[in-house]
Amino acid sequence: MSTTTEISVWSRRPPFSVVLGLALATFIIAASLLSHYLAPFDPTRMAAGPRLAAPSGEHLFGTDEFGRDLLSRVLVGGRLSLGIGITAVVSGLAIGGLMGLIAAFSGRFVEAVLLRLIDVLYSFPDTLIALALVAFLGPGIENATLAIAISLVPFYARVTYGLAAAERAKPYIEAAKLAGIRSGRLVRVHVMPNIGQSLIVMGTLGFSSAILSAAGLSFLGLGVQPPSPEWGAILASGRNYINKAPWILIFPGVAICLTVLSFNLIGDSLRDLVDPRRKGRS
Partner 1 sequence: MMSNPVLKIEGLRKSFTANRRTVHALNGVSLVLHRSETLGIIGESGSGKSTLGRIAVGLDTPTAGELHIEGMRIDTLPPPVRREKLRQCQMIFQDPYSSLNPRLTVGRQIGEGLFARGERDWQAINMTVANLLERVGLKREFAERYPHEFSGGQRQRIAVARALAPNPQIVVADEPVSALDVSIQAQILDLLADLKKDGNLSYLFISHDMAVVARLCDRIAVMHRGRIVECGPVRAVIENPQHPYTRNLLDAVPRFGRRRTGQKPVPVRLPQHSDGDTFMTVAEGHTVLQSAGSL
Partner 2 sequence: MSIPYLSVRDLSVSFLTGTGAFYAIDGISFDLARGEILALVGESGSGKSMTSLSIMKLLPTVAQMSGRIEIEGQDISAFGRRQMEDVRGARIGMIFQEPMTSLNPVLTIARQMTEGPMRHNGISRREALATAYTSLEDVGIPEPDRVLAQYPHQLSGGMRQRIMIAAALALRPGILIADEPTTALDVTVQSQVLDLLVDLKSRSGSGILLITHDIGVVAETADRVAVMRGGRILETGTVDEVLRSPQHDYTKALLASHLTVDKGLKQRDAEVEGARP
Q: Where do contacts with partner 1 occur on this chain (CB under 8 A)?
A: 170-182, 185, 189-190, 193-194, 281
- Residues 164, 104: contact at Cβ < 8 Å? yes
Identify what 185 binds: partner 2, partner 1, none; CB under 5 to 8 Å per kind.
partner 1
Task: Report how far apart, in Å, the C-alpha atoms of 131 and of each of 83, 211, 230 are.
Answer: 19, 14, 17
* CA–CA distance, 53 with 51 (Å, rounded to integer): 5
Is residue 243 at the binding interface for partner 2, with CB under 8 A as the rule?
Answer: no
51 SS3 class: coil
CB of 10 to partner 1, least distance (A): 18
Distance from the Cα of residue 247 to its chain's centroid: 26
CB of 186 to partner 1, least distance (A): 9
Identify what 3 binds: partner 1, partner 2, none; CB under 5 to 8 Å per kind.
partner 2
Alpha-carbon dihedral of residues 162, 167, 168, 173, nearest 10 degrees?
Answer: -170
Among 3-11, 48-56, 100-108, 255-263, the segment contacting partner 2 (CB under 8 A): 3-11
Identify what 168 binds: partner 2, partner 1, none; CB under 5 to 8 Å per kind.
none
Identify what 174 binds: partner 1, partner 2, none; CB under 5 to 8 Å per kind.
partner 1
* CA–CA distance, 200 with 86 (Å, rounded to integer): 12
63 SS3 class: strand
CB of 180 to partner 1, least distance (A): 4
Identify what 277 binds: partner 1, partner 2, none; CB under 5 to 8 Å per kind.
none
* CA–CA distance, 214 with 232 (Å, rounded to integer): 7
Q: Which is nearer to partner 2, 2 or 243 (CB)?
A: 2
What is the Cβ-side half-sphere exposure of residue 4, based on CA atoms within 13 angstroms? 9
CB of 113 to partner 2, least distance (A): 33
Other beta carbons within 10 Å of 63: 29
Per-residue interface string for the shown chain with partner 2, residues 7-26, x marking contact by CB under 8 A: x-------------------
How many residues lie near partner 2 (CB under 8 A)? 5
Residues that bind partner 2 (CB under 8 A): 1-3, 5, 7
